[in-house]
Amino acid sequence: MNSNFGLGFYTTFQFFWWSVTASPVRTYNKVKAVRDKLLATVEYLQAESAKWRTAFNIIKSPYSFLRACGLNPQMAATFLFAGSVATTSVVAVEMMEPPSFSRGDSGIYNAPIDAPIFFEEKFNTLRLDLGTTPVGLVEITDTTLGTAYTGSALPTNETNVIIVGGKPAVVDPAFTETFLEVGHMIVDRWRCETLTLSNIDAHTLIISGNASDGQSIAAVAGTPRNRGINGGNRATDMVTSDSYYDQLKITAASSGINGKIDTLILSNLYSKGGGCLIDRVKAGTLEVVLNEVGGDTNLATKAFQVETSVVYKSFINTDNVEVSMAVPAAQ
């Protein structure tokens, strides 16, 4: 081996060893600087990646994004088509997808079919008609209704934002009265200006934890039977959430044919501009819990009413209080 090479290598090694041992703080600071720069680069790239992912999700579905912000279908479409040309094709593709109950589209649906039998962008009512086919579960949650969001209005000649139940014969002389038969019905966390229960048979009636701007709870004892909805190979469950409608209707719309749902869950419905009505229901268990009802700050007007036509076999009536309330705020 060349002696000069060996000497040079030894001298370099000595210098390196001296640098490390003579100045450990300086060496640590240099290593730390490299580490910090590397971590800063990684954190920056992660943050940028998250931002781009969010941006692409919004661009991918602008129509749904604006609907979630409170615009009705017509306003959302008008806003987008009047805006950037770049998003027009994306919006068109999304809006051309067939409407469905599970996706939260408005329209008239014949349970248990997920596609509507009637749909128009300007028709922003969600109407579910029950007939001969029993449904295991219908669940509608986290929904804003009536004039509680921008650009909404109740349909012409309608006074109720939410209507659940059968239909009376007096509407049409040729129509035979119908009821909605339910194994277990849950009315949970509604916000209504008024809430009325009428013409109901419930084996177990639970009214608990409701706050209302005046209340009249006048249900009467009777002998309604307990019930659950069978039917063998029942229809597929119908579930939707996070939507905006001018009105919600769940009815037994065919003359003389009661609608049948084993479990009906209506939770966190926020409404304004009209009343909420539950009428002509036959239930095994009916729970009306943790709702807020009122809007005229007058306890004498009884915003929450359980009429004498509501009949029960077992009744739990607890923790319902009267509280003065203003009209629900628009969202």
The reported pLDDT for the residue numbered 13 is: 55
Whether residue 55 is found in the same domain as residue 137:
no
Tokens of 46: 């992660």
From its phi and psi, is residue 107 left (phi > 0), alpha (psi between -120 and 50) or beta? left
Whether residue 42 is found in the same domain as residue 168:
no
Q: How many angstroms separate the most distant Cα atoms in the chain?
A: 118
Whether residue 275 is found in the same domain as residue 168:
yes
- Asked whether residue 284 is assigned to any structural domain, the reply reads yes
- Asked whether residue 12 is assigned to any structural domain, the reply reads yes
Whether residue 108 is found in the same domain as residue 164:
yes
Using CA atoms in the order 57, 58, 62, 67, what is the torsion angle rounded to 10 degrees? Answer: 100
Q: Which of these, 188, 180, 194, 199, lies nearest to 279 by C-alpha position?
A: 199
- Asked whether residue 90 is assigned to any structural domain, the reply reads no
From its phi and psi, is residue 231 left (phi > 0), alpha (psi between -120 and 50) or beta? left
Rg (CA), the chain: 31
- Asked whether residue 81 is assigned to any structural domain, the reply reads no
- Asked whether residue 137 is assigned to any structural domain, the reply reads yes
Looking at 60, 84, 106, which one is the last position of a domain? 60
Q: Which of these, 326, 275, 329, 271, lies nearest to 296 by C-alpha position?
A: 326
Whether residue 140 is found in the same domain as residue 202:
yes
Whether residue 116 is found in the same domain as residue 196:
yes
The reported pLDDT for the residue numbered 105 is: 94
Instruction: Please report, in tens digits, the pLDDT of each residue of the chain (331 residues total).
Output: 445 545 555 555 555 555 555 566 666 666 677 777 777 777 777 776 666 655 555 444 555 555 555 555 545 655 555 554 444 444 444 445 789 999 999 999 998 899 999 998 889 999 999 988 899 999 999 999 999 988 888 998 999 999 999 999 887 788 999 999 999 999 999 999 999 999 999 999 999 999 999 999 999 999 999 999 987 766 678 999 999 999 999 999 999 999 999 999 999 999 999 999 999 999 999 999 999 999 999 999 999 999 999 999 999 999 999 999 999 888 7
- Asked whether residue 78 is assigned to any structural domain, the reply reads no
- Asked whether residue 218 is assigned to any structural domain, the reply reads yes
- Asked whether residue 158 is assigned to any structural domain, the reply reads yes
Whether residue 156 is found in the same domain as residue 257:
yes
* Structural domain containing residue 173: 98-322
Based on the structure, what is the number of domains in the chain?
Answer: 2
pTM for the model stands at 0.73
Q: Which of these, 269, 240, 252, lies nearest to 100 by C-alpha position?
A: 240
Whether residue 41 is found in the same domain as residue 142:
no
Whether residue 213 is found in the same domain as residue 263:
yes
